[in-house]
DNA sequence: TACTTTTTTATTGTTTTACAATAAATTTTT
DNA sequence: AAAAATTTATTGTAAAACAATAAAAAAGTA
């Protein structure tokens, strides 16, 4: 996979924590955490919409495409 | 909803049709058409990834957040 | 106009996954 | 240490991606 989620970055910029954002996005803390940490395999446009609205940003601020070369040597990124 | 899909725009820029793109993205023509025409309610990151790779673009080129005021007066956008 | 290609729409079925709800563990902050 | 915030995990349900297929509609070409 080479789509990474920069939700944490935008949250930091807006000074919003999970608790606050979860309320505005109307999603549970737990599931928003999953999203934030790139554990989600898909996203509903309605959810993306709510996030963009709450953070006043664009999808491009949250989703980023990077071509994957192997840099898996460092640590591990995708553990089972 | 206020997330719109500009996949058609990027396809036009890259001069790629559905047939060609569907092959590269490894998704059926029919389903890609649904995506392209904003009929999808969600998108898998794997699919978004494949599209970005095939079109050499970013998610932000395809997904756009617009706050919805009512401009439904013109035609109809979302029919049932 | 007929023929071809592309695109759209529809239908059915399977599999995946979002998300809720909940709880516990972990980390961070005070 | 205590409190607050975050992460991780589990179970269940509803939703939706996507495949496969087919057919209608639109666009392009001879």
**B56 falls within a domain:** yes
**A11 falls within a domain:** yes
**A76 falls within a domain:** no
**B78 falls within a domain:** no
**B38 falls within a domain:** yes
Q: Is any Cβ of chain B less than 8 angstroms from the Cβ of A61?
A: yes
Instruction: Quickly tell me which residue has 């898909």 as its tokens.
Output: A42
**A27 falls within a domain:** yes
For B60, name the nearest residue in chain A, comparing CA atoms only: A60
List the B41 CA – D15 C1' distance (angstroms): 9
Confidence band (pLDDT; 50, 70, 90) for B72? very low
Q: DSSP labels for B18-54?
A: HHHHHHHHTS-HHHHHHHHTT--SEEEHHHHHHHHHH
Model pLDDT, residue A67: 87
Q: Is any Cβ of chain B less than 8 angstroms from the Cβ of A41?
A: yes
CATH of the domain at B8: 1.10.260.40
**B79 falls within a domain:** no
**A80 falls within a domain:** no
Record the pTM: 0.86
Q: Is the pLDDT of residue A79 over 60?
A: no
Contact A59 B63 (CB under 8 A): yes
Total domains in the fold of chain A: 1
Range of the domain at A49: 3-67
What token pair was written down for B17? 């049709």
Distance, in Å, from the CA atom of B14 to the CA atom of B67, rounded to the nearest integer, reads 28
Contact A58 B42 (CB under 8 A): no
Q: What percent of chain A has pLDDT over 70?
A: 82
Q: Mind listing the pLDDT tens digit for each residue in B41-71?
A: 999 999 999 999 999 999 999 999 998 755 4
């Amino acid at each position: 996979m080479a789509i990474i989620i920069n939700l944490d970055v935008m949250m930091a910029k807006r000074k919003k924590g999970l608790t606050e954002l979860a309320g505005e996005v109307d999603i549970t803390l737990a599931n928003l955490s999953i999203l934030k940490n790139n554990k989600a395999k898909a996203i509903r446009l309605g959810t993306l919409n709510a996030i963009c609205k709450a953070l006043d940003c664009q999808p491009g601020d949250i989703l980023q495409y990077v071509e994957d070369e192997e840099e898996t040597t460092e640590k591990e990124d995708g553990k089972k």
